[in-house]
Amino acid sequence: MANRNEIPYKIYLEESEMPKAWYNLRADMKEKPAPLLNPATHEPASLDELSAVFCRELAEQELNNNDAYIEIPEEIRSFYKMYRPSPLVRAYCLEKALGTPAKIYYKFEGNNTSGSHKLNSAIAQAYYAKKQGLKGVTTETGAGQWGTALSMACAYFDLDCKVYMVKVSYEQKPFRREVMRTYGADVTPSPSMTTEVGKKILEAHPGTTGSLGCAISEAVEYAVSHEGYRYVLGSVLNQVLLHQSVIGLETKAALDKYGIKPDTIIGCAGGGSNLGGLIAPFVGEKLRGEADYQFIAVEPASCPSLTRGTYAYDFCDTGMICPLAKMYTLGSNYIPAPNHAGGLRYHGMSTVLSALRAQGILDAVSYKQSDVFAAAVQFARVEGILPAPESSHAIRAAIDTALKCKETGEEKTIVFGLTGTGYFDLYGYQKYNDGQLENYIPTDEEIAESLEKLPKF
Amino acid sequence: MANRNEIPYKIYLEESEMPKAWYNLRADMKEKPAPLLNPATHEPASLDELSAVFCRELAEQELNNNDAYIEIPEEIRSFYKMYRPSPLVRAYCLEKALGTPAKIYYKFEGNNTSGSHKLNSAIAQAYYAKKQGLKGVTTETGAGQWGTALSMACAYFDLDCKVYMVKVSYEQKPFRREVMRTYGADVTPSPSMTTEVGKKILEAHPGTTGSLGCAISEAVEYAVSHEGYRYVLGSVLNQVLLHQSVIGLETKAALDKYGIKPDTIIGCAGGGSNLGGLIAPFVGEKLRGEADYQFIAVEPASCPSLTRGTYAYDFCDTGMICPLAKMYTLGSNYIPAPNHAGGLRYHGMSTVLSALRAQGILDAVSYKQSDVFAAAVQFARVEGILPAPESSHAIRAAIDTALKCKETGEEKTIVFGLTGTGYFDLYGYQKYNDGQLENYIPTDEEIAESLEKLPKF
C-alpha cells in the first residue's frame, strides 16, 4: 500500500499493475443498452451482419452483454506499455489557483503521439484486423485524434489505413493530416468524390464542411466494397467503450492505492468513448450497490445530444447505411456550426451512456466554447499542459464544481478525464487569443427540424 | 532494489527519487572550460558585468566552477513534479525491428507542452528572475521549444515574457507562436525593426531568414535597455547545462535501479543543453576514474560546429554584444541554409562540451537531414512517438550504432536522449513525406569565409 498521507503530483501504476482484462459494464447493467438494429429489417443486427462491416472478434465484443471481463491480448498489452499506464495527476496548482477546498485529480491520456485516449481502442481494433488476416481498415476522423491513433496502430501491425477526414478539420489541421501520412495512412477529405455516398452528399449540399456522419458513411462504403477491408470506429460503439475501460480501471487502481474515494467523476462526451471508459468500473460499483458517485457528461452547447437531444433509434451515419442505434441524438443530419472549434461534434451518443442517462445515473451539462477555451487557458497556465478543446469541456465542469465547493466549503474529491492535448488545435486557440471565437447555440427549431428525419417505426 | 531481471518498457522514478540538487560537472573537470570574456576588454567577464545581462543568481551559477552540487529550490522542484521524472524507455520494439543484439534505452523529455527538455532550465531561470523582483525576461527561440518553455515558466511565475523568434521558424511554425501567445508571451519575428541591432542586420541582409545569433542580439538589447528586464538563454551557457543535469541524474538513477551499465551515450547537439545535461554525471564518473563510457554528440551536416568548426573564442551572437566564449564555432555570422528543417542551428557549442571535445572525451558525428528524417519515421512507426527533428539526430546515431552491433555481434547498451516531440515540426515531415527535403552541406570555403570574422587577439 502506498503512503496515503503523501499523494504525489502524479500517480503512476507499475506496468505489472496494469489491467489484464477490459471491463464490460454491460454485464453489470440490469437494463441493457438497446441493441443495434438492421436498418432494412429493423431487427437486432446479427453477428454475421455486423461481421460484414466489423472484424469478427470486434463484432462479438459489440454484442457481448454478459462477460464482465474480456482478456486483453498480450500483443495489445505490449503496445499499451509503450505509453501506458497513464498518470493520474493531482491538480495541486489548479486547486491553489482556484482557492478551493476541493481535491482535483485528472487522468491524463495525452502522453502519446495521437495526443489522446483514442490509441487505447485503435491498437485493439488494428490487432483484431491483423489477426483476422485483413489487408486494411477504413475509418473517419473529425478533430484528427482518432485518425492519428489508428494510423499509429496500423503502422505497428503493418496494415493499410484509409482515413476519411471531416473536411473542415482537414483544412484547419493540415499538420494532423501530415502526422497520419507519416505513419503511412491515406487521408481523404470528406465528403469526397471517391464514394457513392460522398458524391450524393456533395450534390445535395455542395458547400458542406462535412460531418462525422458523412465521413462514417464513406468509410463504411469503402470497407464493404473492397475485399480484405473492414470498417473501424473510434467512439460510440460498445466495443470502443470496452477497450477504453482501461482508463477507468487504471484510475480506480491508482485511487485505491492511495485510499482516495472520488465524489464526482467528470468527462467530456462526443460519442462517449472517453467518458464511458473512465466511468465504467465506477458505474459498475454503483450498479452493484458497492459505492455511490456522481457522474457528469460535458458536451458543447453547439452539439448538445445528451442535454437537448431525443432518446430514440437513429442512424449512426448521414448516409444511413450503418445499423440503427438507440441513443440520445440530434438527428443524423445534424451538423454543428463550422465555427465550432473542438471535436465532440457527433450527432448521437453511445448506447451505453444513453441508457445510463435514461436510467438517471448520468448527469449532463453543456458549455459554450468561449467558456471552454477560457478554462483551457486557465488550466494550461497553472498545470502546464495545453489541453485539447474536447478535454477542456471536462476542465470547465471540474473548475465550476470546485468553485461551487469554495462557496459551500465542501471538500469534494473531483476526478476528471483529461483526454488529450491541444497541440494540433492551435487554430481554435488562435481564434480565442484574437477574441474571434464565436459561440453558436442551435435554436429549438433547428434541433426539431433535424429530428424530423428520425427513422419512424 | 528493483527486479533486475524484468526491465519494464518505461522506468519511472518515484517523485521522492528525483534529484534534490543539480550536478555541476565543471567542479570535476581538471581543465575547466575557458571563461567568458568581456567583448570590449577581452578580460574574463565579472559577476557584475554578467549581472547586467543575467539574473544575479544565474550569473553566479555561470561562474561557479567549484561546487559539484547546487541545491534545486523547492519551488522549482514542485514545478518539475508536474512533468518529471521523465521516463527512461527501453526501446524493445526498435531493437526488434533492427534485429540488433544491442540494448537501446532513451530518456524521453517530450512529455510536456513545451515538447522538450527546455522546460528544465526555463523554470529555473524564471524562478530566479521572479526571486530578484524583475518585471520580465527576454529571449530568442529558433525551432520554438525554448520560447514555449519560457512562456510556460513565465505564466507560472507571472512574469512578462518577450520572445524574438528566428524569422524562418516564425513563418514555418505559426502554431508554435500561438502556444507562446496562449501562455501570455509576446512574440516578434527576428530580425525585427524593434531593436537597433535588428535594424542594422536587416539593412545589411534585407532578405535574411534570421538566425539564433541575430535573435540573441535583439533579445539582449531589449533586456539591457529596459528597466526590470534580464535576458535568459535556453542553451550554450554553463547555467543551462547545470539545470539540464536533472536529465542525466534521473537517467543514472533509473539505470542504477536496474543495474544497467551503458556503453555508449548519445545526444543531439545544437548549443549543447540536452547533451551536456544528459552526460554530465557520466562524464563526472569518467573524469573521476570510476567508470568508462563513450559519448557521442550528433549534429546536422548543415550546421557542423563540433565536426567542422574551429575551437576558438567567438561572439555568442551576430550583433557581437554578448560576452565572448571559447567554443567550437562556425563563426557568429554563420547561418544554416533555409532548407534546414530542424533546430540545432546555432553557430557555436557550449564551452563545457567544447572543452570535453578538445580533451578527447566527447566524440562527434554529423548527419544529412534526409538520413535524420528517415530515422525519425522508422522510430515513430515502431516506438509510437513522433520525434522532434533535433532528437532524431540522436536516433540516427543510436540506430547506426545498434546496426554496427548487429554486424559485430556486440551486445552494447546504448542510451540516447530523446529530447522532444515533433508535433510542431510537421512542415519538415511534410517535405520529407513529399520527397522534397533537400540536404545542404556547407563547402570548406563557406566555413572558412565565415571563420574569417572570428575576433582576433
CA B112 from chain center: how many Å? Answer: 16
User: What pLDDT was estimated at residue A317?
Assistant: 83
Interface membership of A358 toward B (CB under 8 Å): no
User: What pLDDT was estimated at residue A2?
Assistant: 64
User: Which residues lie across from A267 on neighbouring strands?
Assistant: A297
B285 within a domain of the structure (yes/no): yes
**Is A184–B381 a contact, with Cβ atoms under 8 angstroms apart?**
yes
Shared domain for A128 and A102, answered yes or no, is no
**Is B429–A183 a contact, with Cβ atoms under 8 angstroms apart?**
no
Q: Please, where are the H alpha helices in A132-272? A: 145-157, 167-172, 174-182, 196-204, 212-224, 238-257
B24 within a domain of the structure (yes/no): no
Of the residues B231, B254, B284, the one at which a domain ends: B231
B82, burial (CB in 10 Å: exposed 0-12, middle 13-18, buried 19+): buried
User: Which residues lie across from B311 on neighbouring strands?
Assistant: B328
Shared domain for B192 and B81, answered yes or no, is no
Shared domain for B189 and B292, answered yes or no, is no
Give the three-class secondary structure for B152: helix
B5, B6, B75, B82: which to substitute to probe chain A, counting the most A Cβ within 10 Å? B82
Shared domain for B259 and B364, answered yes or no, is yes
Q: Which three cell numbers stand for residue A362?
A: 448520468
Of the residues A231, A249, A271, the one at which a domain ends: A231
Sign of CA dihedral B385, B386, B389, B393: positive
**Is A179–B112 a contact, with Cβ atoms under 8 angstroms apart?**
no
Chain B positions in Cβ-Cβ contact with residue A426 (cut-off 8 Å) = 174-175, 178-179, 182
**Is A113–B183 a contact, with Cβ atoms under 8 angstroms apart?**
no
Shared domain for A130 and A97, answered yes or no, is no
**Cross-chain CB nearest to B93 (options A14, A82, A174):** A82
Tally C-beta pairs within 8 A across A and B.
Answer: 124
Chain A positions in Cβ-Cβ contact with residue B384 (cut-off 8 Å) = 79, 82-83, 112-113, 152, 156
User: What pLDDT was estimated at residue B213?
Assistant: 81
**Is A423–B426 a contact, with Cβ atoms under 8 angstroms apart?**
no
A224 within a domain of the structure (yes/no): yes
B261, burial (CB in 10 Å: exposed 0-12, middle 13-18, buried 19+): exposed
Shared domain for B175 and B87, answered yes or no, is no
Q: How many CA atoms lie within 13 A of A155 on its CB side?
A: 29
Q: What is the pLDDT along chain B (457 residues), one digit of tens a residue?
A: 566 668 999 999 999 999 999 999 999 999 999 999 998 999 999 999 999 999 999 999 999 999 999 999 999 999 999 999 999 999 999 999 999 999 999 999 999 999 999 999 999 999 999 999 999 999 999 888 999 999 999 999 999 999 999 998 898 888 899 999 999 999 999 999 999 999 999 999 998 988 888 899 999 999 999 999 999 999 999 999 999 999 999 999 999 999 999 999 999 999 999 999 999 999 999 999 999 999 999 999 999 999 999 999 999 887 788 899 999 999 998 988 878 877 898 899 999 999 999 999 999 999 999 999 999 999 999 999 999 999 999 999 999 999 999 999 999 999 999 999 999 889 899 999 999 999 999 999 999 999 998 998 7
- Nearest residue in A to B174, CA atom: A426
B23 within a domain of the structure (yes/no): no
B104 contacts: CB under 8 Å, gap ≥ 6: B90, B91, B94, B95, B398, B402, B414, B416
Q: What is the pLDDT along chain A (457 residues), one digit of tens a residue?
A: 566 668 999 999 999 999 999 999 999 999 999 999 998 999 999 999 999 999 999 999 999 999 999 999 999 999 999 999 999 999 999 999 999 999 999 999 999 999 999 999 999 999 999 999 999 999 999 888 999 999 999 999 999 999 999 998 898 888 899 999 999 999 999 999 999 999 999 999 999 988 888 899 999 999 999 999 999 999 999 999 999 999 999 999 999 999 999 999 999 999 999 999 999 999 999 999 999 999 999 999 999 999 999 999 999 887 788 899 999 999 998 988 878 877 888 899 999 999 999 999 999 999 999 999 999 999 999 999 999 999 999 999 999 999 999 999 999 999 999 999 999 889 899 999 999 999 999 999 999 999 998 998 7
User: What pLDDT was estimated at residue B243?
Assistant: 98
Average pLDDT along chain B: 95
Of the residues A231, A265, A286, the one at which a domain ends: A231
Q: How many CA atoms lie within 13 A of A407 on its CB side?
A: 6
Count up the domains in chain A and report the number.
Answer: 2
**Is A423–B156 a contact, with Cβ atoms under 8 angstroms apart?**
no
User: What pLDDT was estimated at residue B335?
Assistant: 83
Shared domain for B62 and B128, answered yes or no, is yes
Q: Which three cell numbers stand for residue A190?
A: 470528406
**Cross-chain CB nearest to A384 (options B112, B174, B430):** B112
Dihedral-angle region of residue B279 (phi above 0 means left; psi in -120 to 50 means alpha; beta otherwise): alpha
A109, A151, A426, A432: which to substitute to probe chain B, counting the most B Cβ within 10 Å? A426
Chain B positions in Cβ-Cβ contact with residue A181 (cut-off 8 Å) = 430, 433
Tell me the nearest-neighbour CA distance from B213 into chain A, angstroms.
Answer: 28
pLDDT tens per residue across span B90-102: 999 999 999 999 9
Give the three-class secondary structure for A276: helix
Shared domain for A80 and A136, answered yes or no, is no
Shared domain for A153 and A189, answered yes or no, is yes
Chain B positions in Cβ-Cβ contact with residue A377 (cut-off 8 Å) = 182
**Is B182–A113 a contact, with Cβ atoms under 8 angstroms apart?**
no
B188 within a domain of the structure (yes/no): yes
Q: Which three cell numbers stand for residue A155?
A: 503502422
Nearest to B352 by CA among B449, B410, B283, B441: B283
User: What pLDDT was estimated at residue A86?
Assistant: 97
B152 within a domain of the structure (yes/no): yes
The DSSP string of A292-342 is --EEEEEEETTS-HHHHSEEEEEESSTTS-SPEEEEEES-TT----TT--S
**Is A380–B15 a contact, with Cβ atoms under 8 angstroms apart?**
no
Interface membership of A204 toward B (CB under 8 Å): no
Interface of A with B in 164-193 (CB under 8 A): 174-175, 178-179, 181-184
A24 within a domain of the structure (yes/no): no
User: What pLDDT was estimated at residue B287?
Assistant: 98
Pairing label, strands A69-71, A362-367: unpaired
State the ipTM, two decimals: 0.93
Shared domain for B282 and B430, answered yes or no, is yes
Tell me the nearest-neighbour CA distance from A306 into chain B, angstroms.
Answer: 31
**Is B10–A174 a contact, with Cβ atoms under 8 angstroms apart?**
no
pTM over the 0.90 mark: yes
A258 within a domain of the structure (yes/no): yes
Chain A positions in Cβ-Cβ contact with residue B258 (cut-off 8 Å) = none
User: Which residues lie across from B89 on neighbouring strands?
Assistant: B10, B106
Interface membership of A98 toward B (CB under 8 Å): no
Whether A427 and A274 have beta carbons less than 8 Å apart is answered as: no
Shared domain for A159 and A300, answered yes or no, is no
User: What pLDDT was estimated at residue A275?
Assistant: 98
Interface membership of A43 toward B (CB under 8 Å): no
B5, B426, B434, B436: which to substitute to probe chain A, counting the most A Cβ within 10 Å? B426
Range of the domain at B66: 31-71+118-231
CATH code: domain of residue A269: 3.40.50.1100
B271 contacts: CB under 8 Å, gap ≥ 6: B212, B234, B235, B236, B240, B346, B348, B349, B350
Interface membership of A18 toward B (CB under 8 Å): no
Shared domain for B214 and B227, answered yes or no, is yes
**Cross-chain CB nearest to A384 (options B82, B89, B174):** B82
- Nearest residue in B to A75, CA atom: B93
